Amino acid sequence: MATTTPTPAATGAGAGADERIAEDRERIDELDRRIIRLVRERMEVSARIQQARIGAGGRRVNLSREMEILTRYRERLGRPGTSLAMTLLELCRGRV
């Protein structure tokens, strides 16, 4: 007859971890809500800039400015930061 060792969750030892995980997930959900609000705000500001630039006879997209943004994200977040910045730029100005 084989014996089994109780799992931490079965003995109550995992309850603290489960509680911590639930709290941290709530925190992540709140951070995601804030990030989404900020991205939407960024989209609105970007649209105003594009409208002003076009209204003044300029181009909708300023590639040198976009390169600055890509560099900033890459320097602060590493290579994945570049992908994040590209996604933000696409959300804010559309596909080029």
- pLDDT tens-digit readout, 36-52: 999 999 999 999 999 99
Distance, in Å, from the CA atom of 30 to the CA atom of 52, rounded to the nearest integer, reads 33
Q: Is 94 helix (H, G, I), strand (E, B) or coil?
A: coil
State the chain's mean pLDDT as an integer: 90
User: Is the pLDDT confidence value at 6 over 60?
Assistant: no
Locate 13 and state its tokens.
Answer: 């030892």
Q: What sign for the dihedral angle of Cα 79, 61, 94, 32? A: positive
Locate 27 and state its tokens.
Answer: 């925190």
Give the pLDDT band of residue 2 (cuts 50, 70, 90).
low
| Residue ranges per structural domain of the chain | 21-93
DSSP state, residue 7: P
CA 17 to mean position of chain CA atoms: 26
Superfamily for domain range 21-93: Chorismate mutase (1.20.59.10)
How large is the average pLDDT for residues 7-22?
Answer: 77
pLDDT over 90, % of the chain: 79
